[in-house]
Structure 1
Amino acid sequence: MALKETKVVRDPIHGNITLTDLEVAVLDTPQVQRLRNIKQNGFCYLVYPAMNSTRFEHSLGVMHLAGRVADQLGVHYDDWEMLRVAGLLHDVGHYPFSHTLDELIAKFGVPHEERSSELIKTTELSDILKAHGMNPSVIAEMVMGRGNLGKVISSEIDVDRMDYLIRDSYYAGVAYGVIDLDRIISSIKLVGREIVVDRRGLEAAESLLINRNMMYQTVYRHHTKRIAEAMFRRAIQSAFEEGMRHDSILKMDDIDLVHSLRNSGTYSRGIMGRIDRRLLFKRFFKENVSLLLESFREDAKKRQVEIDNKIADDIGVERGSVLIDMPKTKMSEFRILVDCEGEMRRIDEVSSLAKALERSESDKLIFYVYVDPKYLDKTKGFDAEKYIQYSQTMLKKFY
């Protein structure tokens, strides 16, 4: 859709991105500018040095792709503009270090999508949107994946995923995230309020699943990144124990939080110093998540520090020197809808490749236990069964 050019931003992924007056006004708010200081991929830079892109660039990319999908759907200009603004604002409520703190924040805050929705309705963003004839509540609903066009922003095959796969693979220097954007977008249509892929775009949708799977295995779940994240979360938990307010994190960016931890107690300062020098904990136990009972998975998330301390006590090392790490297990892309001659079916029902990827997903999820390297010798003979019993579960035995 043609628009009156007011500003052009050069993006390494999508080329020139043109912004309207409204988008420039939204872009220049403190809420959106804050995203310049929130890394897109947390501690990935410890493994892939160029992965220092931020939520700011990603939001511009999502806005751009939302406009392309809106063009494909042939929506009215007002809906086109609202969809682009929703793409620009979809991450405005993100907490520091992106998804690194999701489970920790969940104990005292709301998911970042809900916070984004709230900021759109209650800050100066609301005033700007109203001044340009936009309804903040409608855009807030879009950010949550609701309303007539919300699935473009948040669904199993949304513009958020499209942008981060391409952008992250570019900065990581790997080819796994390369997807056929033109083919996918040209095959997208709206059925009711659902985003559906036409049958002719099935192969492109399959490539998205394959590439996302590869990105998770080699980049997003890289063990070095996961170790740094586990250490960072424990540093924050220690800072909470020493008086840092839980809600203080909600308005911080990466710089604010790191500064706060460096000025916190001895443990938190020490952990930050180790991350700075890449002196990370080491893995000493791992188990495939598919072998763990669901009750243990939940237990490991809810009572992490308690279990950390129990293991540390059992092997005779300082508390805070042992960390457990249970990965997230959700991968919703297998619910992508495909239009098979008027019948809407899930992609894993019509694609043997998607079905195989779904089956293999759980086999690649690994639960780890980490330890301060100086105590590695203490971990010899670690009794996993005793640990699992402490969590009131047991490993499934089938061999």
Structure 2
Amino acid sequence: MKIIRDPIHGNIELNEIELKLADAPEMQRLRHISQNGLCNLVYPAMNSTRFEHSLGVMHLAGKVADHLGLDEERQDLKIAGLLHDIGHCAFSHTSDHLLSRFGFNHEENSSRIILNTGISDILNSYSISPEKISDLVTGKGNLSKIISSEIDVDKMDYLLRDSYYAGVAYGIIDLERIIHTLKLAGGEIIVGSGGLEAAESLLIGRNMMHQTIYRHHTKRIVESMFANAVNSLLNDGKITYDSFLGMDDIDLVYTLRNSGGYAGEMMHRIDTRKLFKRVFAEKINKTLRSFRSEISKNKKEIENKISDDAKIPRGFLLMDMQSSEMSEFKVLVEYDNELKRIDEVSELAKALEKAELERLTFCIYADPKYRDNVKNLDIDDYIQYTQTMLKKFY
């Protein structure tokens, strides 16, 4: 048994197999992958990594298993918590859309690593099924909801951890009370009777962290510049699919700094804080929302069209369509002897859900010297352009 001291949860215990998995190269790589992408350029102390977050999720998975009396499944759940983020690429969610261009997400990449690397050998040596762990990580089966669902140990850890390192109190949640009120019902993780206020604390924490930390406009600008730079490397063949999957933050930054061209310039701008600015912002109305998927599919085409019309060099104007899955508002709670969604019984949840939609913004970032070039931009013109493209190609 080994004890690791954690600033969020105190002592975290690892048994023999958990320690072997944590020491595996595939897990040690997470020590060099930031938990929050480039958040540290806005909140300088946000330098935590996916490694300590994974330890925290493992720890909480064990606590939830103990509370629910899942003695036989406890070890599998803890291992799934430890390995759930093993497939994250460099800079975590900043790179998520780059994974999507290869046709999968980081959970599916986690499954690939669990099933096809030394991780599988370690699991097999302890008679633990890699396939079962993979299923828990990728959301298959009822117990996977403990790891990833509307109310899960992943969210519980990252809200507490991220708020701690950001130096804010927004993500403080009533962790012990939330865990104490969790129940298994019909294959779902639900909040039991009397736990409504604890679940509301999670909604408040999540909402405040998204508005102030995760959607901070400077963070989104930097991440847009960074992602565009990496995209250009992939498009130019300077890095391959396989090499990208194996990179950590250090590898990717080194590659960008030494790449020259557009990617090198973007990285230099980030290093020296010569950042793009928000030159256009508009709340996402019903029209924009209805064309979100089409705009996302044709993002580069529309960016180029706006750039050409505004006489801005391509690559120096970037679009950002904020989105929210708002899965937490689907949390099931016991209320008046029935199971109901939290946004059906909580006025606070309803208000937060409404505020979430109203705050989503469509933004354009560009080199500040081009600010005047887009001051008369009418986004409706480009929605019409999108419609024309759809008719042309479909």
- Does structure 1 retain, via aligned residues, the 8 Å contact 2:120–2:130? yes
Secondary structure of the residue aligned to 1:13 is coil
Pair 1:357-2:376 in alignment: no
Secondary structure of the residue aligned to 1:293 is helix
Look up the match of 2:391.
none
Pair 1:176-2:170 in alignment: yes
Look up the match of 2:392.
none
- Does structure 1 retain, via aligned residues, the 8 Å contact 2:280–2:375? no
Look up the match of 2:182.
188
Cα deviation, 1:129-169, whole Å, max 9, x if unaligned, reads: 11112111111111122224211101100000000000000
Look up the match of 1:3.
none
Pair 1:53-2:48 in alignment: yes
* 1:233 paired residue among 222, 227, 231: 227
Pair 1:146-2:137 in alignment: no
Which residue identity lines up with residue 326 of structure 1 in the other structure?
M
Shift of the alpha carbon at 1:278? 1.4
Q: 1:66 to 1:286 in 2, by over 3 A?
A: same
Which residue identity lines up with residue 320 of structure 2 in the other structure?
D
* 1:36 paired residue among 20, 31, 41: 31
Count of residues in Structure 1 that have an aligned counterpart in Structure 2: 387
The CA distance in 2 between the partners of 1:297 and 1:264, in whole Å, is: 33
Look up the match of 1:131.
125
Secondary structure of the residue aligned to 1:392 is helix
Question: Structure 2 stretches of 5 or more lacking a match?
Answer: 389-394
* 1:311 paired residue among 306, 309, 315: 306
The structure 1 segments of at least 4 consecutive aligned residues displaced by more than 6 Å after TM superposition are none
Secondary structure of the residue aligned to 2:81 is helix
- Does structure 1 retain, via aligned residues, the 8 Å contact 2:316–2:366? yes
TM-score, normalized by length of structure 1? Answer: 0.93
Cα deviation, 1:199-235, whole Å, max 9, x if unaligned, reads: 2111000010011000000000000000001111111
Look up the match of 2:249.
254
Question: Structure 1 stretches of 5 or more lacking a match?
Answer: 1-5, 394-399
Shift of the alpha carbon at 1:295? 4.6
- Does structure 2 retain, via aligned residues, the 8 Å contact 1:64–1:84? yes
The CA distance in 1 between the partners of 2:231 and 2:290, in whole Å, is: 23
Stretch of structure 1 that moved more, 140-149 or 49-58: 140-149
The CA distance in 2 between the partners of 1:344 and 1:295, in whole Å, is: 31
Shift of the alpha carbon at 1:390? 2.1
Shift of the alpha carbon at 1:291? 4.0
The CA distance in 2 between the partners of 1:299 and 1:225, in whole Å, is: 25
CA-based RMSD: 1.5
Look up the match of 1:97.
91
Provide the identity percentage: 59
The CA distance in 1 between the partners of 2:242 and 2:299, in whole Å, is: 21
Which residue identity lines up with residue 340 of structure 1 in the other structure?
Y
Cα deviation, 1:220-276, whole Å, max 9, x if unaligned, reads: 000000000111111112212322324431121111111222222411000001111
The CA distance in 2 between the partners of 1:370 and 1:119, in whole Å, is: 36
The CA distance in 2 between the partners of 1:292 and 1:285, in whole Å, is: 17
- Does structure 1 retain, via aligned residues, the 8 Å contact 2:89–2:248? yes
The CA distance in 1 between the partners of 2:323 and 2:87, in whole Å, is: 21
Q: 1:378 to 1:296 in 2, by over 3 A?
A: same
